[in-house]
Amino acid sequence: MRVVVTGGAGFVGSHLCEILLRRGDDVVCVDNLSTGRAENIAALSDQRGFTFLRADVSDGFDVPGPVDAVAHLASPASPADYHKFPLQTLAVGSRGTEHALVLARRHEARFVLASTSEVYGDPQVHPQPEEYWGHVNPVGPRSVYDEAKRYAEAVTTAYARHSGVNTGIVRIFNTYGPRLRPHDGRVVSSFIRQALGGEALTIYGDGLQTRSFCFVDDLVRGIVAMLDCREPGPVNLGNPDERTVVELAELVLRITGSRSPVQSLPLPTDDPVRRCPVIVKALERLAWKPEIDLEEGLRATVSWFRSYGVEPAAAAGQAR
d(CA 306, CA 182): 11
Q: What is the pLDDT of residue 173?
A: 96
d(CA 79, CA 211): 15
Most confident of 140-149, 195-204, 221-230, 262-271: 221-230
What are the tens digits of pLDDT across the range 207-226? Answer: 888 899 999 999 999 999 99
**Is residue 105 classed exposed, middle or buried when 0-12, 13-18 and 19+ CB atoms within 10 A define those classes?**
middle
Average pLDDT (54-75) is: 96
- Model confidence at 263: pLDDT above 70: yes
What are the tens digits of pLDDT across the range 151-195? Answer: 999 999 999 999 999 999 999 999 999 999 988 889 999 999 999
Residue of 36, 26, 37 lying closest to 73 (CA atoms): 36
What are the tens digits of pLDDT across the range 299-319? Answer: 999 999 998 776 544 333 332
Q: What percent of the chain has pLDDT over 90?
A: 85
Average pLDDT (63-92) is: 94
- Model confidence at 232: pLDDT above 90: yes
Q: Measured between alpha carbons, how far is residue 276 from residues 89, 292, 312 in Å? A: 24, 16, 32
Residue 131: CB partners within 8 Å, gap ≥ 6? Answer: none
Q: What is the pLDDT of residue 311?
A: 52
CA dihedral 285, 135, 149, 166 (to 10 degrees): 30
Q: What is the pLDDT of residue 268?
A: 76
- Model confidence at 235: pLDDT above 50: yes
What is the pairing mode between strands 201-204 and 262-265? parallel
- Model confidence at 93: pLDDT above 90: yes
**Is residue 121 classed exposed, middle or buried when 0-12, 13-18 and 19+ CB atoms within 10 A define those classes?**
buried
Residue of 180, 257, 168 lying closest to 215 (CA atoms): 180
Within a 10 A sphere around the Cβ of 203, how many other Cβ atoms? 22
308 is catalytic: no
Q: What is the pLDDT of residue 73?
A: 98
* Cα-based angle 59, 155, 76 (whole degrees, multiple of 5): 50
d(CA 274, CA 83): 22
Residue of 116, 40, 35, 39 lying closest to 81 (CA atoms): 35
Q: What is the pLDDT of residue 317?
A: 33
d(CA 157, CA 154): 5
- What's the predicted TM-score (pTM) here? 0.93
Q: What is the pLDDT of residue 297?
A: 97
Pick the catalytic residue from 82, 120, 145, 159: 145
- Model confidence at 112: pLDDT above 60: yes
- Model confidence at 288: pLDDT above 90: yes
8 A C-beta contact, residue 66 and residue 110:
no
Domains of the chain: 2-176+214-237 (3.40.50.720), 187-211+241-273+292-316 (3.90.25.10)
- Model confidence at 270: pLDDT above 80: no
Quote the mean pLDDT of the chain: 93
